[in-house]
């Protein structure tokens, strides 16, 4: 999906070098080896992922850095001073500045915290007081971002590896959902006191089911977006298959945050593709493929006689509700009509659809958003008595909302209001939420039978407490500028638009998510890939990548 090569040009050619190869290998490892690696079943899943991320990033990052520095100081030409990348790697974009600012605030927050050891690693002593998102993790993420944004090379094999790795994780999760255990993960815990916890909360090789949901919240918009954007027929087929399996994985993860993020991305995606007959056709086909995947799970459910881990409200809807058949048929018909319409047009005819289609889809999406907000306001402030069940329970916000996330959010703002001026600016230190929220632990135990927490279960609120208003502002600048640049660059490179969907999905999921070293690296990779495509589009270099 590289931008079109220029004709014969006097500009230097961007050769595929060792730095590019190492960077592509790094991306492949983070989507294949990283999610599949466990050292001792689920005994320390997050720790295993953290250390594997740390080692892979440090080794490959240092290697790329050394090669780049050697090249920089041993060559004098303009071409080599730019390290054979898309442009001068020392020229910073707003997205770069946002990440550097966030890392800088994290450093200041760490040094001022009084818990430097804990803030460095994001964990100390008690395994429940942090999630390894300390200063070291943030700096490694920054290094990974800079490496990928400067040296990622657009090769098909990388995307096929991403499809392959996430598909394996999804298939294992689907099997585990029905207690089929090909790797013997559950079997290893039989007879132990933790067996029930493992069965209910862990899946595939990813660890906690919420990690699976967060992974798919990155991978599903990517696969779906690639199915829409790519002109490579084989890759499109692979992307559709991966999309179906990942949606099935999202269903069996039974974590509503993943649905929240993916649905937000799908809604925006519908508006974006609505001017193109070809892209809207592929979008409709993708929705139909996902609904078909949901009904394959329904068949599994019949075969297994309901012997599964149980459903969340969204999971139950997609597996059991007959309305999914209706959705499948409607979108399949739309895809068929658009396909037929495109075939009967002359080859020279425009692919552009009428603005009426765009405004209709935009109106539907806006009405859905307004309806969601209206129901939220009504059941939260007006009708506080009507019992809400199933998916309707999301429309009443109180302390019990979202597995008592409401309690964490409401009281987190009270914690912030009681912090001193310095802490309000720079936070209490990365991964110190556990200590800041300790005054509420006894009440939590009484209300929810849960004695502690180490996160606000909202990434933005969490950063407000731990890295302060400056840290949160820098993080929002980082994400916001990435979305804007991806949209601006989408006309030059469709991969940028795919990245925009991924960034949007994960950013929305972060409203109910917890930042951790298992999921955040995948999010950062796609922001970096987007920055890479932007740099490439603005480059004076002639590209030699085979792209797609």
Dihedral-angle region of residue 160 (phi above 0 means left; psi in -120 to 50 means alpha; beta otherwise): alpha
**CA 454, CA 445: separation in Å to the nearest integer?**
14
Q: What average pLDDT does range 179-205 have in this prediction? A: 89
Q: Domain containing 496: what range? A: 13-543
**CA 450, CA 212: separation in Å to the nearest integer?**
23
Lowest mean pLDDT among 130-134, 423-427, 533-537: 533-537
Q: What average pLDDT does range 257-281 have in this prediction? A: 92
Q: Is the pLDDT of residue 493 over 90?
A: no
Residue 133: inside a domain, yes or no?
A: yes
Give 14's strand partners: 543
Residue 8: inside a domain, yes or no?
A: no
Q: What average pLDDT does range 297-322 have in this prediction? A: 87
Q: For 194-220, give the secondary structure using H, E and C.
A: CHHHHHHHEECCCEEHHHHHHHHHHHH
* Total of domains in the chain: 1
Would you place residue 256 in the very low, low, confident or very high pLDDT band (cuts 50, 70, 90)? Answer: confident
Lowest mean pLDDT among 15-29, 40-54, 229-243, 526-540: 526-540
Would you place residue 546 in the very low, low, confident or very high pLDDT band (cuts 50, 70, 90)? Answer: very low
pLDDT digits (tens, 9 = 90+) for 441-462: 999 998 888 888 899 999 999 9
DSSP 143-163: HHHHHHHHH----HHHHHHHH
CA distances to 29, 50, 176, 335, 424 from 55, in Å: 12, 9, 29, 46, 33
Nearest to 190 by CA among 41, 36, 38: 41
Residue 260: inside a domain, yes or no?
A: yes
Mean pLDDT rounded to a whole number for the chain: 88
Tokens of 331: 């979108």
Q: Is the pLDDT of residue 277 over 70?
A: yes
Show Cβ contacts of residue 296 under 8 Å, excluding neighbours closer than 6 positions.
244, 248
**CA 478, CA 164: separation in Å to the nearest integer?**
29
Tell me phi and psi for residue 203, to 5 degrees.
-160, 155
pLDDT score of 330: 96
Would you place residue 403 in the very low, low, confident or very high pLDDT band (cuts 50, 70, 90)? Answer: confident
pLDDT digits (tens, 9 = 90+) for 463-483: 999 999 999 999 999 999 999
pLDDT score of 196: 85
Would you place residue 3 in the very low, low, confident or very high pLDDT band (cuts 50, 70, 90)? Answer: very low
Would you place residue 545 in the very low, low, confident or very high pLDDT band (cuts 50, 70, 90)? Answer: very low
Show Cβ contacts of residue 150 under 8 Å, excluding neighbours closer than 6 positions.
83, 85, 86, 89, 532, 535
Dihedral-angle region of residue 542 (phi above 0 means left; psi in -120 to 50 means alpha; beta otherwise): beta
Residue 1: inside a domain, yes or no?
A: no
Dihedral-angle region of residue 445 (phi above 0 means left; psi in -120 to 50 means alpha; beta otherwise): alpha
Contact status, residue 310 vs residue 264, Cβ threshold 8 Å: no
**CA 204, CA 212: separation in Å to the nearest integer?**
8
Say whether 352 sits in a helix, a strand or coil: strand
pLDDT score of 507: 95
Residue 457: inside a domain, yes or no?
A: yes
Report which of residues 4 and 76 the model is more confident about.
76
**pTM over 0.95, yes/no:** no
Q: Is the pLDDT of residue 547 over 50?
A: no
Contact status, residue 513 vs residue 130, Cβ threshold 8 Å: no
């Amino acid at each position: 999906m590289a931008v079109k090569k220029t004709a014969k040009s006097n500009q230097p050619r961007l050769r595929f070098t060792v730095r590019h190869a190492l960077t592509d290998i790094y991306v492949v490892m983070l989507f294949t080896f990283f999610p599949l690696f466990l050292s001792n079943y689920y005994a320390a899943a997050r720790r295993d992922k953290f250390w594997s991320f740390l080692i892979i990033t440090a080794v490959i990052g240092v290697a790329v850095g050394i090669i780049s520095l050697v090249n920089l100081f041993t060559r004098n030409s303009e071409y080599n001073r730019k390290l054979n990348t898309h442009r001068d790697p020392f020229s910073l974009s707003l997205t770069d500045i946002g990440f550097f600012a966030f890392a800088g605030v994290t450093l200041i927050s760490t040094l001022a915290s009084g818990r430097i050891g804990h803030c460095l690693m994001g964990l100390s002593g008690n395994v429940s007081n942090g999630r390894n998102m300390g200063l070291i993790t943030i700096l490694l993420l920054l290094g990974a971002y800079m490496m990928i944004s400067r040296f990622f090379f657009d090769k098909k094999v990388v995307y096929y590896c991403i499809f392959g790795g996430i598909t394996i994780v999804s298939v294992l999760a689907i099997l585990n959902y029905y207690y089929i255990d090909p790797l013997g993960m559950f079997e290893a815990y039989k007879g132990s006191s933790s067996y029930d916890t493992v069965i209910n909360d862990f899946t595939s090789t990813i660890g906690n089911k919420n990690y699976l949901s967060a992974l798919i919240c990155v991978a599903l918009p990517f696969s779906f977006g690639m199915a829409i954007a790519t002109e490579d027929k084989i890759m499109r087929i692979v992307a559709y298959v991966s999309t179906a399996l990942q949606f099935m994985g999202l269903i069996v993860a039974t974590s509503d945050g993943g649905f929240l993020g993916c649905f937000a991305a799908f809604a925006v995606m519908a508006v974006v593709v609505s001017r193109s007959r070809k892209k809207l056709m592929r979008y409709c086909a993708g929705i139909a493929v996902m609904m078909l995947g949901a009904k394959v799970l329904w068949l599994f459910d019949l075969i297994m006689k309901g012997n599964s881990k149980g459903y969340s409200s969204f999971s139950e809807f997609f597996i059991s509700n007959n309305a999914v058949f209706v959705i499948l048929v409607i979108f399949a018909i739309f895809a068929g009509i658009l396909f037929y319409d495109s075939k009967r047009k002359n080859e020279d005819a425009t692919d552009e659809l009428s603005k009426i289609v765009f405004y209709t889809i935009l109106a539907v999406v806006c009405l859905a958003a307004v309806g969601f907000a209206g129901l939220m306001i009504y059941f939260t402030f007006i009708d506080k008595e009507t019992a809400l069940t199933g998916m309707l329970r999301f429309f009443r916000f109180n302390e019990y909302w979202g597995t008592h996330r409401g309690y964490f959010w409401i009281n987190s703002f009270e914690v912030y209001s009681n912090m001193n001026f310095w802490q309000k600016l720079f936070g209490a230190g990365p991964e110190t939420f556990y200590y800041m929220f300790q005054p509420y632990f006894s009440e939590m135990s009484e209300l929810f039978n849960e004695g502690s927490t180490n996160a606000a279960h909202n990434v933005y609120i969490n950063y407000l407490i731990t890295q302060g208003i400056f840290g949160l502002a820098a993080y929002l600048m980082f994400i916001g500028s990435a979305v804007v640049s991806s949209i601006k660059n989408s006309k030059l490179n469709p991969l940028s638009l795919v990245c925009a969907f991924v960034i949007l999905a994960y950013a929305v999921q972060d409203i109910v998510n917890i930042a951790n070293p298992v999921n955040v690296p995948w999010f950062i990779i796609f922001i970096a890939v987007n920055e890479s495509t932007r740099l490439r589009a603005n480059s004076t270099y002639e590209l030699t990548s085979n792209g797609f």
